[in-house]
């Protein structure tokens, strides 16, 4: 697929941010998700809910359907769940904590490849995300995506002309990468023990990693095998 066709499937704001990246053609690239890969998300949401009179009962990977008013047996509606999550990003993005091993992993990756963050954080929280990551010592360019990340990954691969590896905790995003950027290496990974046991399997991942050591080894293997 040509670059024009790829760009036609990317929302304008994301395309603008992709175009602003200072990419070195011919150098490998690693695209990292942020929530649950670099920073804690679900566990943070669970703590944040308590003083507001809510609680999380995480029985599946989806947070929608996992949030309840304290003492209620009926979960919040889908729309109310999305509203709560949007409020979380407004109030808490700057306070998200780095997951164990994430900072050292980023430094190791930067010695090997170009590294960016490809996140579906709400666009209104983009600046807060940049401030949060910088405060944690994670100095990476951030691209805010909407929907599936596969087309953005295809764009990155076309622009770099080099091996690209994608790390994400969402099986849906791994599937999007497999569909739209099949030559991109795909690592299914979370650094958060809070959600690890409820993550569904991903048939489209080249590797499912249990910790950053496995993820880093997988990145190296995929970059070298391209």
Q: For 157-202, how does the pLDDT look when each residue is reduced to its tens digit (9 = 90+)?
A: 999 999 999 999 999 999 999 999 999 999 999 999 999 999 999 9
Q: How far apart are CA 114 and CA 18, in angstroms?
A: 14
Taking residues 107-126, what's their average pLDDT? Answer: 98
Q: Residue 60's pLDDT is what?
A: 87
Taking residues 70-98, what's their average pLDDT? Answer: 97
pLDDT band at 63 (very low <50, low <70, confident <90, very high): confident
Q: How far apart are CA 195 and CA 20, in angstroms?
A: 33
Mean of all residue pLDDT scores within the chain: 96
Q: How far apart are CA 23 and CA 112, in angstroms?
A: 14
For the chain, what are the domain ranges? Answer: 3-40+96-225, 42-95
Helix (H) or strand (E) holding 30: strand 29-32
With contact defined as beta carbons under 8 Å apart, do 92 and 32 qualify?
no
Second-level CATH architecture of 3-40+96-225: 3-Layer(aba) Sandwich (3.40)
DSSP letter, residue 76? P
DSSP letter, residue 23? -
């Amino acid at each position: 697929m040509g670059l024009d066709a790829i760009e036609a499937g990317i929302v304008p704001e994301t395309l603008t941010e992709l175009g602003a990246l200072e990419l070195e053609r011919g150098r490998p690239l690693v695209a990292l998700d942020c929530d649950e890969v670099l920073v804690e998300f679900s566990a943070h949401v669970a703590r944040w809910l308590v003083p507001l009179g809510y609680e999380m009962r995480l029985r599946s990977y989806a947070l929608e359907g996992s949030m309840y008013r304290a003492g209620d047996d009926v979960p919040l509606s889908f729309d109310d769940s999305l509203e709560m999550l949007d409020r979380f990003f407004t109030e808490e993005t700057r306070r998200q904590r780095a997951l164990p091993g994430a900072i050292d992993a980023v430094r190791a990756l930067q010695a090997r490849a170009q590294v960016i963050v490809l996140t579906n954080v709400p666009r209104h929280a983009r600046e807060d995300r940049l401030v949060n990551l910088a405060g944690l010592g994670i100095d990476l360019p951030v691209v805010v995506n909407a929907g599936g990340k596969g087309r953005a990954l295809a764009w990155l691969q076309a622009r770099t002309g080099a091996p690209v590896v994608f790390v994400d905790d969402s099986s849906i995003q791994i599937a999007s990468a497999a569909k739209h950027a099949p030559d991109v290496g795909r690592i299914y990974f979370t650094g958060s023990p809070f959600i690890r046991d409820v993550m569904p399997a991903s048939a489209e991942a080249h590797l499912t990693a249990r910790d950053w050591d496995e993820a880093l080894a997988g990145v190296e293997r995929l970059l070298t095998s391209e």
